[in-house]
Amino acid sequence: MEEGLLRISLKNLVSLKRPAESIPVLYSRKMLMPFPDASCNNCGDCAKECRGGAITVSGAWEMDLGKCLFCGRCIEACESRSLKLVDAPDYVLKRADLIFRGGESAERGRDALDKAKRKVIGRSVNIRDVDAGSCNACEVEVNSMSNRFYDMERFGMKIVASPRHADVLLVAGPLTENMKEAFDRVVAAAPNPKVVVAMGVCAISGGLFRDGETHGGIDGSIAVDVYIPGCPPPPDAVIRALLGAFGLTGQR
């Protein structure tokens, strides 16, 4: 083989540029959520069109981002064009912080978890992906977190095969009746102190499946440390959320 061809082949085998080049993209593509401006007359058309039941208008406009499917139907239904797309939070630590009201701020803090848990886990985060009866959309996004573009391992995060090796339980799905026993066993197997992350609207509120044979999310079955909205949340949002919650943003 000619020397030039060998050099080109070796460059294609190992790329040192791709991870660095993806970081600006990783921190620029925010999820967008609907939020009313001052011209909103609380007509309720957006609430009627909301398939997830996230928006209610009873005297004032209110949205539960933990139920929002990010489908955009509410924007299309607003004849006055009062609903605008604004940056959605990557994560919150309290369920109440996913409630947004018209006339109030759409900003949310970026607090990190308590120091005790962060100290035990350190700078290397071992994640066990837990399927609690999801449609598999969230699992597809979790798989993408490890590909060559997102490459979450460069931030010290990796998926482990057993909950016994995990620091974090990344849970997706509405927690169906059939998965409840398996879920409880996974939770029991994970060592303490563990961090529980509800990924996506199904894990947070049950999503579209909340009226089925489900527990309407994992909140009532285990204490949740981090809530990540989305249906499903994209890989970059999940990575940003984990880095922010663990105070590891300096590793980027």
Helix axes 235-245, 137-144, angle to 10 degrees: 70
Q: What does the buried/exposed string (b/e) look like for 194-223 if buried means 16 or more CB atoms within 10 Å of the residue's CB? A: bbbbbbbbbbbbbbbbbeeebbbbbbebbe
Q: How far apart are CA 235 and CA 27, in angstroms?
A: 11
Q: How far apart are CA 19 and CA 218, in angstroms?
A: 34
Asked if residues 122 and 167 have their Cβ atoms less than 8 Å apart, the reply is: no
Per-residue confidence in pLDDT tens, the chain, 252 aa: 455 655 655 555 444 455 556 777 788 888 999 999 999 999 999 999 999 999 999 889 999 999 999 999 999 999 999 999 999 999 999 999 999 999 999 999 888 998 888 887 887 899 999 999 999 999 999 999 999 888 999 889 999 999 999 999 999 999 999 999 999 999 999 999 899 999 999 999 999 999 999 999 999 899 999 999 999 999 999 999 999 999 887 655
User: What architecture is the 115-251 domain classified under in CATH?
Assistant: 3-Layer(aba) Sandwich (3.40)
Q: How far is CA 50 from CA 14, 44, 67, in A?
A: 47, 10, 10
* Phi, psi at 96, each rounded to 5°: -65, -25
E runs forming strands in the chain:
32-36, 55-57, 61-64, 83-87, 99-101, 125-131, 157-159, 168-172, 195-199, 226-228
**Extents of the domains making up the chain:** 32-101, 115-251
Which of 200, 157, 159, 203 shows the shortest CA–CA distance to 183?
A: 203
Question: Would you say the CATH fold of 115-251 matches that of 32-101?
Answer: no
- pTM across the whole model: 0.89
The Cβ of residue 252 has, within 10 Å, a number of other Cβ atoms equal to 12
Which numeric CATH code is attached to 32-101? Answer: 3.30.70.3270
- In the three-class reduction of DSSP (H, G, I as helix; E, B as strand; rest coil), residue 160 is classed as coil
